[in-house]
Copies of this chain bind each other. A is one copy, B any other.
Amino acid sequence: MNTDKYFASRRTIRKYDTTRDIHASAIMEMLEDAAHAPNTGNMQIYSVIITKDEDGKKALAPAHFNQPAVMNASAVLTFCIDLNRFSHWCRINDTTPGFNNLQGFTWGVIDASIFAQQFCTIAEMNGMGTCYLGTTTYNAEPIAKALELPEGVIPVITVTVGYPAENPEISDRLPIEAIAHLEKYHLADSAEIKNIYAEKEALPSSKQFITENSKDNLAQVYAEVRYPSEANEKFSQVYREFLKNQGIQI
């Protein structure tokens, strides 16, 4: 594959060169290209809000648990499901779309994700660095407030972008044979599962996580410290309520 070089060696960039700005017009250009990525029925039920302003970043930072990348980045991009624009178009055309349900939500998440990823690929191929913030679905409401999102607009993904000020190692991945199944799903047994995760568990960073968090193993760090059940349940309820207030009943 002649594209190997970039794709297999890409890495997430969390520290940006604050002396190098990316102009809003360059971001718009990249988004314009990214919007050529596929989307459900070519309805484009998504929007993105570009935050470049210092005050705008400050307003978003707490919703992202003050991750330094937010203030540090040239821009913060919040990718949203957008049923508002499409519904408005339907309204002035004497019809009503029925997308305020689980199908509409799922299409919106898929389309916003594809759009966001295409943007990241374009930015990275042009020498910039990007980072997805996993906090958007936790704190959708304060994000919506800060960005003045109307009914039907749901934050799904946040990406920070800037020129890299770090050169991190390539992040580990599970063996592709564990992820990609030929013809039928292969249900791994416990011995296979151990093998699949062996390399990840052996990383120095994994051992450090375990020690720092006083756990017995890496799985416990994930399930009990980084993504504890109670938090996931709580944030699920918060997100569901927010969706309802924005007019989507999943």
Residues of A within 8 A of B (CB): 1-4, 7-10, 12, 24, 26-38, 40-44, 46-53, 56, 84-86, 88-90, 92-99, 101-104, 106-107, 109-110, 113-114, 116-118, 120-122, 125-126, 131-132, 134, 137-138, 147-150, 153, 156-157, 170-174, 176-185, 187-188, 190, 193-194, 196-197, 216-220, 222-224, 226-230, 232-233, 235-237, 239-240, 250
B42 touches A92 (CB 8 A): no
A36 touches B1 (CB 8 A): no
Q: A8 to B122: give the CA distance in the assembly, Å.
A: 11
Q: Find the B residue at minimum CB distance from A56.
A: B183
Shortest C-beta distance, A145 to chain B (Å), equals 11
Q: A8 to B108: give the CA distance in the assembly, Å.
A: 21
A183 touches B236 (CB 8 A): no
B179 touches A229 (CB 8 A): no
Q: Find the B residue at minimum CB distance from A194.
A: B92
Q: A180 to B82: give the CA distance in the assembly, Å.
A: 11
Q: A121 to B120: give the CA distance in the assembly, Å.
A: 12
